[in-house]
Amino acid sequence: MNKRRVVLTGIGAVTPVGNDAETSWKNIIDGVSGVGPVTRLNPDDFPAKVAAELKEFNIENFIQKKEARKMDRFTHYAVAASMMAVKDAGLEINDQNADRVGVWIGSGIGGMETFEQQHETFLNRGYRRVSPFFVPMMIPDMATGQVSITLGARGFNSCTVTACATGTNSIGDAFKVIQRGDADVMVSGGAEAPITKMSFAGFCANTALSTNLDPASASRPFDKNRDGFVMGEGAGIVVLEDLEHALARGAKIYAEIVGYGATGDAYHITAPAPEGEGGARAMRMALEDAGLNPEDIGYINAHGTSTDYNDKFETMAIKNVFGEHAYKLAVSSTKSMTGHLLGAAGGIEAIFTALAIKDGVLPPTINYETPDPECDLDYVPNEARRQDIQAAISNSLGFGGHNATIALKKFSE
């Protein structure tokens, strides 16, 4: 079977460092942190006091208030980012092409805020006062559902839920849909609105969140003094397109997506497999799928959560896959600035990886102050770096032992 080439032609994002992809990328390159004191809940109730929240985001800039009230915040973020991505791609969806335009957007936890609010209503006022929109607001596939309705995209339609690997799995699976010919265009990525009382409580209870009281330094991937991740929110959406389809309409091309790897640890519900064994297999699979050698990769956008085991084992996995070349390539974690957007992380990090290739600039890992002997690679500490990048990968690793890697390269006809 001849595999169709797939390119990335549109980007859209709402992140803690910007309410569009352009602003987010500029702030990432400038090393701007989106972490601050948590405001969506009472910090006195939790040991973690900081989060990476959106600033001044208003869904009514995209859809009418009446429609927005039928959606959870994670769906707001997905709809806004998708509308921006399609506009950026210059893509018109109409009756002639709608059946060939699909949507694949995932969410790790879906409408947790809606669940909490409606459960409280049920306890206090009974089932009759629960919203009839409760279930379609809460379920994770509703980001995909509402985006397809908003855009009029009637093609391949699905949703991935693989915890923190969700965004990367979604894009990888959407890539395969186009590659095998089941769609010409896919709108894909991840969306998450996890800064709620129960989500915060759950991650505090399993000691995954940083208890650093200083927002500026709380997210510090690969630094010896890291103490947990900072929860973030938002969405990252890309438009993937069959190359011939993109060229025929004169679309701009950010990068070509060339490989996808997905594996399971079969080890533990939250801890990564020793030495990042599952993540290493995902990277190898992505490289093999792309027809790339390890030496071809110039940059890795790491999962890099700022937790002890993740950063250490991901570093070991990179060294296992890339050997001596691991010390020659650049590795950075943009979570040092955005926090960890859980199911949306892979979406925004795919955008940052594509832009790193297109613009020839490596995003930094900020707050890197104290080297960890077990994390000894080039993490692009604290300042962005100009460098030509021909090919790069983006990693995402999730609870449940999910590992996902996508490979992108500079587009050349």
Catalytic site residues?
164
Q: How large is the C-alpha radius of gyration of the chain? A: 20
Distance from chain centroid for Cα 66: 28
**d(C-alpha 78, C-alpha 75), whole Å:** 5
**d(C-alpha 285, C-alpha 99), whole Å:** 31
**d(C-alpha 307, C-alpha 297), whole Å:** 25
Question: Nearest 5 degrees, angle CA 370-CA 374-CA 376?
Answer: 70
**d(C-alpha 50, C-alpha 339), whole Å:** 10
Here the tokens at position 406 are: 């996508």
Contact 358, 29 (CB under 8 A): no
Backbone angles phi, psi at 375, to 5 degrees: -125, 90
Q: Spell out a b/e string for 352-366, using b for 16 or more CB atoms within 10 Å of the CB, else e.
A: bbbbbbbeebbbbbb
Here the tokens at position 297 are: 């990769």
Here the tokens at position 387 are: 């460098």
**d(C-alpha 392, C-alpha 38), whole Å:** 33
**What is the residue whose two structure tokens read 């990769």?**
297
68, exposed or middle or buried, with CB in 10 Å at 0-12, 13-18, 19+?
middle
Backbone angles phi, psi at 345, to 5 degrees: -55, -45
Residues pairing with 240 in the sheet: 8, 186
**d(C-alpha 288, C-alpha 377), whole Å:** 23
Residues pairing with 262 in the sheet: 404
Here the tokens at position 403 are: 């590992």
